[in-house]
Chain A
Amino acid sequence: MKFMAILRVGLRALARNKMRSLLTMLGIIIGVGAVIAMISIADGARAQVQSQIASMGTNILMVFPGSVTQGGVRSGFGSITTMTADDAVAILREAPSVARIAPTTRTVAQVIAGNQNWSTQIQGAGADYFDIRDWPVEQGLPFTDLDVRSSAKACVLGTTVADNLFPGQDPVGQVVRINKVPFQILGVMKKKGGNAMGSDQDDIIVVPYTTAQKRLQGISHIQGMMISAVGKEQVATAQTEITQILRRRHRIAPGGNDDFMIRAQSDIAATADETSKVMTMLLGAIASVSLLVGGIGIMNIMLVSVTERIREIGIRMAVGARPGDILLQFLLEAIILSTLGGLIGVGLGIGISQIVSKAAGWSVLIAPPAVAMAFGFAVAIGVFFGFYPARKAALLDPIEALRYE
């Protein structure tokens, strides 16, 4: 009853100075809005990175050839030629945690079809490559194990290559010349978009790795392996198994360095997630500063308001307001300002996030915990910064206050 009456007194005092109340709230509005917008945008970016990484599969392992030291000269990764297709066969046979494996090679070539030509990545791969990367062939068919074994001159195009070589046509069944070698186009893969680094994953032609070795690259080793583990949880086990098999097959003495390296997709995902989390926190922290400044604005105005209303405080005390009642009135005013500011700020933050997502095409993720946190923080700021002015008002001497001009 009394609380409601005092609340009404506070509301009326704020309504009487609408412009001032609004300007006071502005600090909190901008603060909360900034926090929510920043966190939403950062979270959106994080989710996008995550989904891109997940689009490559979280149970994927990639094996690359390591570096080699010859006569004291160390070459870079990939220079070693000890990795062969037999290694892949052995891994698939011996490692129980490995589900599928596709040897890979990679090169760049100029490709020609009709009167069009294009420079693109040539991915030599095993037949399981499409399944492992969860990258289905949408038109036509992928090449098969038989094609791999027979080094068939067959290929599958990425959409970017298909669009550039066969604008407005169906490429399936046509022929593309890679380094002057004609390949029959079996299919076109589903559009995958840019990867986490922003490069176009669809700018690619996938051919059987055996064909790439013999016809395009003139090598007998392989340049990597794309492996999928049985499940997400078996990735670490698979990594151990692969390491043991490869070390044994490559006759690496205990204590010697691996001549290969294994990277798990989930590690990359974790790293990327960590990075973007730090980013989110950083943006949130910067925005929080403006929230803090907003709180100081509230304290400033409340102090002015107390000074302006000393006489009113004296009158209220004379008719029986206790110090606690006066404290409550001014504290409530500060809390109303910060709460209302917080609510408007939440609206503003969501609005900005939506506009940014529409205008810039960024994916934006509004996280309810972030919204709740920003709002709660705003209310807490009202309590914290409202307390000092309210206490000042409550401790006024009624005689002095009544005499104040």
Chain B
Amino acid sequence: MPVDFVPSAQSTRPPGGDILVVEDLERVYRTGSYEVRALRGVSFAIPTGQMVAIMGTSGSGKSTLMNILGCLDKPTGGRYLLDGVETASLDRDARASIRNSKIGFVFQSFNLLARTTALENVELPLIYSGESGRAGHARALLALKRVGLGDRAHHLPNQLSGGQQQRVAIARSLVNRPAILLADEPTGNLDTRTSLEILSLFQELNHEGVTVLLITHEHDIAAFADRVVTLRDGRITADLRQVPRSAASALAMCTDDSVEQLS
């Protein structure tokens, strides 16, 4: 399958360069005189092709960080460079364009449009980049094939299992060849086996060159990343490289386990 879902701009990006850089990122929520400092100066850089897990318990500021990295929110201080573009100062329209072309979202709750076929869900970002139509159709279908759902293109979300729905969401996040794939608790609503399947898919995509950012509160999930950034009270408390577990082999073991249990 000559499908290339590696970021198209990769050739122009210097190999080993940083696709994402945050410097001294701050986010303060103000309600009246009351202030909540959700992020208190977060700095890190992610090189192209890395698979990074951002760990943190609830209240650590990881949702806030995720919203800013996803260009859904603006920081109140600091810098955020995505693929060489300074995003902190952009307006709503410009941030929408960045989300469309440079970021692929995968959510815990899948966030597929109900009563809309898998293919149309995958095509969604193409509507807003003005690339829908015949060519977009073909691209969406290729993305679906890439996640192994080529034969489910015309199924509705409620006719698909949770794992399949998340695969559709991943296909959707890939269809515009984003610079980074942002996955917010992508396995939170899935059973262990399906979670491993999804993580295995992430690892495959990562090996093909896609930069993946996993946001999670589970150590088990973070173990599959190259690097774990731990967040606590709005600050980074740890930033460690590690040798990732292979989701594929974990999946094989998982299958063996269940076979053993069955026999």
Contacts and interface: CB of A to CB of B under 8 A. Distances in A.
Nearest to A325: B128
A130 B207 CA distance: 104
A124 B172 CA distance: 94
A92 to B, nearest CB: 82
A237 to B, nearest CB: 71
Given A315-B113, A319-B125, A399 B99 contact: no
A311 to B, nearest CB: 8
Nearest to B126: A5
A138 interface: no
B72 A321 contact: no
A320 B72 contact: no
Nearest to B136: A5
Contacts, number: 72
B86 to A, nearest CB: 19
> Which of A319, A322, A402 has most chain B Cβ within 10 Å?
A319
Contacts of A5: 126-127, 130, 132-133
A317 interface: yes
A1 to B, nearest CB: 5
A6 interface: yes
Q: Which 3 A-B pairs have the closest CB atoms?
A: A320-B100, A2-B130, A319-B125
Given A315-B124, A318-B70, A399-B72, 6 more contacts: A311-B111, A315-B112, A318-B72, A319-B172, A320-B129, A398-B72
A231 interface: no
7 contacts: A5-B130, A9-B127, A316-B124, A318-B111, A319-B100, A319-B128, A399-B72
Given A320-B101, A322-B92, A322-B96, A402 B111 contact: yes
Interface in B208-250: none
A324 B93 CA distance: 8
Label chain A's interface by main secondary structure. helix
A16 interface: yes
B107 interface: yes
Given A315-B124, A318-B70, A323-B93, A16 B115 contact: yes
Contacts of A317: 72, 96, 99
Contact of B124 (A319, A398, A402): A319
A320 B99 contact: yes
Interface residues on A, range: 20 to 34
Contact of B128 (A16, A322, A402): A322
Interface of A: 1-2, 5-6, 9, 16, 311-312, 314-325, 398-399, 402
A314 B132 CA distance: 20
Contacts of B126: 5
B133 A318 contact: no
Interface in B96-135: 96-97, 99-101, 105, 107, 111-115, 124-133
A314 B111 CA distance: 9
Given A6-B127, A16-B115, A312-B113, A322 B97 contact: yes
Interface of B: 67, 70, 72-73, 92-93, 96-97, 99-101, 105, 107, 111-115, 124-133, 172, 176
A393 to B, nearest CB: 14
The residue among B70, B107, B111, B128 with the most chain A CB atoms within 10 A of its own CB is B128
A312 B70 CA distance: 18
Nearest to A9: B127
Contacts of A325: 96, 128
Contacts of B73: 399
A2 B127 CA distance: 6
B111 A323 contact: no
B176 to A, nearest CB: 8
A320 B115 contact: no
A5 B137 CA distance: 12
Nearest to B99: A320
Contacts of B127: 2, 5-6, 9, 321
B124 A399 contact: no
Nearest to B64: A399
Contact of B67 (A315, A321, A399): A399
A402 B107 CA distance: 10
Contacts of A321: 96, 100, 127-128
Nearest to A324: B93
A317 B131 CA distance: 16
Contacts of B111: 311, 314-315, 318, 402
A322 B100 CA distance: 9
A308 B84 CA distance: 38
Contacts of B70: 318
Nearest to A400: B72
A320 B125 contact: yes
B179 to A, nearest CB: 13
Contacts of A402: 72, 107, 111
A32 B104 CA distance: 47
A316 B123 CA distance: 11
Contacts of A6: 127
A314 B99 CA distance: 12
Contact of A1 (B97, B101, B133, B172): B133
A320 B96 contact: yes
Contacts of A318: 70, 72, 99, 105, 111
Nearest to B93: A322
